[in-house]
Amino acid sequence: MEVLSQGKAAVYEEPTGPAGVRIRERPRTEPKPGAVAVAIQAASINHLDLWLAHGAQRVTPPRVIAADGAGVVHASDDPAWKPGDEVVLFPTLCCWECEWCRAGENVKCAS
Ordered by start, the domain boundaries in the chain are 7-108
pLDDT digits (tens, 9 = 90+) for 52-88: 888 887 788 888 887 788 999 989 988 999 999 999 9
Angle value at C-alpha 4, between 79 and 41, nearest 5 degrees: 90
Percent of the chain predicted with pLDDT > 70: 95
Q: pLDDT by residue (tens digit) across 17-34?
A: 889 999 998 887 778 888
Whole-angstrom distance, CA of residue 26 vs CA of residue 103: 36
pLDDT band for position 2 (cuts 50, 70, 90): very low
CATH class of 7-108: alpha beta
- 12 forms beta bridges with 21, 63
Q: Quick check: 88 and 69 in contact, CB under 8 A? A: yes
> Cβ contacts of residue 43 below 8 Å, gap of 6+?
10, 66, 68, 69, 70
What's the average model confidence in pLDDT over 87-102? 85
